[in-house]
A and B are shown apart, each in its own frame.
Chain A
Amino acid sequence: MLDTYDKSRKKMLFGSAALLTLVLVVILAVKGSTGLQWIASGLTVGSIYALVAMGFSVIYSSTRVINFAQGEFSMLGGMLMYTFASSAGLPVPLAFIISVVIVSLLGAGFERLAVRRLRDSSVITVIIVTIGFSIFLRAVAKWIWGSEPVKIAAFSGEKPVRFLGAAVVPQSFWVFGFTALAVLLAFLFFNRTLIGKGMRAVAANPDAASLVGVSTSTSSLIAWTVAAALGAAAGIIIAPIRFAAYNVGTMLGLKGFAAAILGGLGSAPGAVVGGLTLGVLETITAGVFPSGYKDALAFLILILVLLAWPQGLLGRRQDVMT
């Protein structure tokens, strides 16, 4: 989102979009209505990956940090929603807002306390602190909520709706709607507001940006808060379809990251395309291969993309490889 005009990232974006379209067409052709079902659930889970990927991209763009705890933001969103909506019985919109706010504060707090201090440290140091944060969050969640998954009621009922021949649960529409809204808001924010444009400036050239008065540290703080909010929201809206538990964050984070890289790290449209593609591919894999291998797909894609198209990620090979 912050460097959308980079030419090689655009290539990456079109590449993934083309791949996605191709995959969709092939599925429909080969599998007919089962294929449509796969596509529906694939796009649903893919939207969540897209939201998580956007969280990664926002943080990466402004601070060049990869937040290993991004998945935990989603996990916490879901768990908090459970506490406020299901346990405490608060109305859904209120519980949603409270949960998102709490997680956002958490993200902001971590940025101030930990990330800022390590601004000049080596990559490994920053990696480890975000890993520590993710371990911490996961352990706290287990301590508070236990290890059993919890159920959150769907926003508008569970009865599947017939859509173009596939049975789609209403929650999926919430997912699609929210993702679209998030992308729109991100676009407006980063292209139409002064703060957003300032953050893009920091992402492109931190020194030049600070010279013209854009604060790098504010940019970083906003990035982490937004990423936490995005992650939390993503975790909340997918919880009724999947489930919420203390350990869903790890996989979600990893897959979200794979999606971000697939579509081009640092780009919002890339996050969306990457997420959707990954979601659909994963659903197909689960349909074709023994289910245990499903997760391996995300990692395989991750590694292949990293090795084969690093210049698609940033446009500058030197950042990624030697």
Chain B
Amino acid sequence: MEKPRGIAETHSYRTLLIVAAFILILPLWARAIPGDVLHMDIVNIMVLAGIYACAVMGLNLLIGYAGQISLGHSAFFGIGAYTTAILCTRYSWFPTWLGMILGAALSGLIGWLVGKPVLRLKGHYLAIATLGLGEIAFILFSQVKGLTGGTVGILNIPPLSIFGLSFDTDLKFFYLVWAIVLVIMLLTFNLVRSRVGRGLRALHSSEVTADAMGINTGSYKVKVFVWSAVLAGLGGALFAHFQLYINPESFVLTLSILFVTMVVIGGMGNLWGGIVGVVVLAFLPSIIQAFPEWIPGLPESLSNFNNYSLVLYGLLLMIFIIFMPKGIAYGLSRGTVFGKSTAGRLLDRIKAYRSTEK
């Protein structure tokens, strides 16, 4: 009998390969489109999306599978970024790939130190505690001037260089980042369909019952948290070597919320949730920004996206979570965008109501 798959896993290695192939050829057609048609640089946006995806995939494991929450992951992103930035700018001989690894590792270590006490909290309290940690990290980034350059930040970060190959163009970075993302996908894939993955999903469903089944829930929560911190740190390090300049403003609460939004909108607890969420939210602002240029003659207040980008963001967030709390990926895998969400149930109820009226 074929190895069975769980409800949450409706995809196979095959899908992974298809996505990988798509990613491979993306720059070929993206670069072929003339610049003034779309008004956005797809490859550039995808690089940033991929960088965020590292953090978001870890967060998806934490939120969607293990059922916890963190509103402070910008801290880990920042730790990864600052670690590699500081090491590589202070010591010009320092290999950038090592800086990246150390950034991820330090992020994981701190994730372990703070995770152990904090993960004993639940729900809202965990959210607030992690939020507080994120804020403290931001304050430290801004205040410890000797180390981090304070509010000015760190400039002239050397581009990433692995085995002599220098990743100094968008295109090279694109392939590097998405290769990393796909590897993480693969690992997550395996994890979720295994014993530990079941343990995590059981923990999410009912912590007490999971304990009774012999799952060491406390330990699992911490491990997932640490792993998500490592991934966020990795993303941060990549960010530093891509932007070549960082300052504390890049690692604020807004970023933590963005990460969580990407997880939620993409689909919590769905393997593709992280990537879908990241891609959608990475392109959305560019699309909306480019939109007015596709439609001539809009008034200034509407055509300048910066005016209302956040308004839209907040509105979308609220609408989305109310009507599609499970996210896009879940909806897609059901064949309909609404799935079992409020909207779907609403439609059912309307139909039922209509039929009883007769």
Chain B residues, Cβ within 8 Å of A250: 253
A302 to B308 CA separation, bound complex (whole angstroms): 33
In the complex the two chains form, is B69's CB within 8 Å of A303's CB? no
A290 to B260 CA separation, bound complex (whole angstroms): 32
In the complex the two chains form, is B121's CB within 8 Å of A121's CB? no
Q: A139-B313, A293-B139, A296-B139 are in contact. Are A303 and B322 (CB under 8 A)?
A: no
A322 to B121 CA separation, bound complex (whole angstroms): 7
In B229-280, the 8 Å CB interface with A consists of 253, 257, 260-261, 264, 268
A140 to B309 CA separation, bound complex (whole angstroms): 10
Add 18 more A-B contacts to A123-B69, A128-B317, A300-B132 (CB < 8 A). A123-B122, A123-B123, A124-B127, A127-B71, A135-B257, A136-B314, A139-B308, A139-B311, A254-B135, A292-B142, A293-B139, A293-B143, A296-B139, A296-B140, A303-B132, A310-B121, A322-B120, A322-B122
In the complex the two chains form, is B129's CB within 8 Å of A302's CB? yes
B133 within 8 A of A: yes
Q: Which of A139, A292, A306 contacts B129 (CB 8 A)?
A: A306
Q: Which of B123, B135, B325 contacts A296 (CB 8 A)?
A: B135
A320 within 8 A of B: yes
A134 within 8 A of B: yes
In B94-125, the 8 Å CB interface with A consists of 117-118, 120-125
Separation in Å of the A26 CB from the closest CB of chain B?
25
A319 to B125 CA separation, bound complex (whole angstroms): 9
B63 within 8 A of A: yes
Interface string of A136-159 (1 = CB under 8 A from B): 111110110000000000000000
Chain A residues, Cβ within 8 Å of B303: none
In A85-142, the 8 Å CB interface with B consists of 114, 117-118, 121-125, 127-129, 131-140, 142
Q: Supply 14 A–B pairs (Cβ within 8 Å), ascending by A.
A: A127-B124, A128-B260, A128-B264, A129-B322, A136-B314, A136-B318, A257-B128, A296-B139, A299-B136, A303-B132, A306-B121, A306-B128, A307-B118, A319-B122
Chain A residues, Cβ within 8 Å of B316: 132
Main secondary structure of the interface of B (DSSP, over half): helix
By beta carbon, the residue of chain A nearest B207 is A322
Chain B residues, Cβ within 8 Å of A131: 71, 257, 260, 317
In the complex the two chains form, is A295's CB within 8 Å of B135's CB? yes
Q: Please name the 3 residue pairs, one residue from A and one from B, whose CB atoms are nearest each other, closest first.
A: A136-B314, A132-B317, A139-B310
Chain A residues, Cβ within 8 Å of B264: 124, 128
A299 to B135 CA separation, bound complex (whole angstroms): 7
Binding site for B on A (CB under 8 A): 65-66, 114, 117-118, 121-125, 127-129, 131-140, 142-143, 250, 254, 257-258, 261, 290, 292-293, 295-296, 299-300, 302-303, 306-307, 310, 319-322
Q: Which of B129, B132, B136, B322 contacts A114 (CB 8 A)?
A: B322
A246 to B207 CA separation, bound complex (whole angstroms): 41
A224 to B140 CA separation, bound complex (whole angstroms): 35
In the complex the two chains form, is B218's CB within 8 Å of A322's CB? yes
In the complex the two chains form, is A292's CB within 8 Å of B132's CB? no
Separation in Å of the B315 CB from the closest CB of chain A?
6
Interface string of B165-191 (1 = CB under 8 A from A): 000000000000000000000000000
Separation in Å of the A234 CB from the closest CB of chain B?
20
B79 within 8 A of A: no
Separation in Å of the B344 CB from the closest CB of chain A?
14
In the complex the two chains form, is A66's CB within 8 Å of B317's CB? no
Q: How many of chain B's residues have a CB under 8 angstroms from any CB in A?
A: 47
A128 to B263 CA separation, bound complex (whole angstroms): 11
In the complex the two chains form, is A310's CB within 8 Å of B321's CB? no
Separation in Å of the A257 CB from the closest CB of chain B?
6
Chain A residues, Cβ within 8 Å of B322: 114, 117-118, 129
By beta carbon, the residue of chain B nearest A290 is B143
Chain A residues, Cβ within 8 Å of B129: 302-303, 306-307
Main secondary structure of the interface of A (DSSP, over half): helix
B307 within 8 A of A: yes
In the complex the two chains form, is B125's CB within 8 Å of A320's CB? yes
Separation in Å of the B300 CB from the closest CB of chain A?
12
Chain B residues, Cβ within 8 Å of A296: 135-136, 139-140
Q: A117-B322, A125-B325, A295-B135 are in contact. Are A135 and B69 (CB under 8 A)?
A: no
In the complex the two chains form, is B139's CB within 8 Å of A292's CB? yes
A122 to B123 CA separation, bound complex (whole angstroms): 9
By beta carbon, the residue of chain A nearest B264 is A128
Chain B residues, Cβ within 8 Å of A143: 307-308, 311
In the complex the two chains form, is B314's CB within 8 Å of A129's CB? no
In the complex the two chains form, is A133's CB within 8 Å of B318's CB? yes
Chain B residues, Cβ within 8 Å of A118: 321-322, 325
Separation in Å of the B55 CB from the closest CB of chain A?
17
In the complex the two chains form, is A132's CB within 8 Å of B128's CB? no
Q: A123-B123, A303-B132, A307-B118 are in contact. Are A134 and B314 (CB under 8 A)?
A: yes
Chain B residues, Cβ within 8 Å of A121: 325
A142 to B309 CA separation, bound complex (whole angstroms): 11
B289 within 8 A of A: no
By beta carbon, the residue of chain A nearest B150 is A292
In B120-172, the 8 Å CB interface with A consists of 120-125, 127-129, 131-133, 135-136, 139-140, 142-143
In the complex the two chains form, is A137's CB within 8 Å of B314's CB? yes
B217 within 8 A of A: yes
Q: A136-B311, A302-B128, A320-B125 are in contact. Are A295 and B257 (CB under 8 A)?
A: no
A137 to B318 CA separation, bound complex (whole angstroms): 12
Q: A117-B322, A143-B307, A296-B136 are in contact. Are A303 and B118 (CB under 8 A)?
A: yes
Chain A residues, Cβ within 8 Å of B317: 128-129, 131-132, 135-136
Chain A residues, Cβ within 8 Å of B117: 307
Chain B residues, Cβ within 8 Å of A254: 131-132, 135
Which of B124, B136, B316, B317 counts the most chain A CB atoms within 10 A?
Answer: B124
In the complex the two chains form, is A295's CB within 8 Å of B325's CB? no
B342 within 8 A of A: yes
In the complex the two chains form, is A136's CB within 8 Å of B315's CB? yes
Chain A residues, Cβ within 8 Å of B313: 135-136, 139
A306 to B207 CA separation, bound complex (whole angstroms): 20
